[in-house]
Amino acid sequence: MIVSDKSPNEDDLADEAFMEMNSEASDLYGLIHARYINSAIGMAKVYQKFLSSLYGTCPRALCER
């Protein structure tokens, strides 16, 4: 559902059961992602992305990156 390449149509958006399932799937995806980011491997990947300035840099003049 979340990784599906097709977007929901109007009938899906009007279906209350579909919207409930979509909301629960989104919540589950967020929980799994948060758990991965808090793991040692996830933290190491985020740290490497931070060091490579993937998330941007601080615009303050006296800040070190």
What value does the CA radius of gyration of the chain take, rounded to a whole number of Å?
18
Residue 29 within any structural domain of the chain: yes
pLDDT for 29 equals 93
Q: What is the DSSP letter of 50?
A: H
Distance (Å, rounded) from C-alpha 55 to C-alpha 11? 38
pLDDT score of 64 more than 90:
no
**3-state class of 53 per DSSP?**
coil
Residue 48 within any structural domain of the chain: no
Containing structural domain, residue 21: 10-40
The identity of residue 58, as a single letter, is C
Residue 19 within any structural domain of the chain: yes
Confidence of residue 1 (pLDDT cuts 50, 70, 90): low
Residue 14 within any structural domain of the chain: yes
User: How many domains is the chain built from?
Assistant: 1
Residue 34 within any structural domain of the chain: yes
pLDDT per position as a tens digit, 19-48:
898 899 999 999 999 999 999 999 999 999
Residue 18 within any structural domain of the chain: yes
pLDDT for 10 equals 85
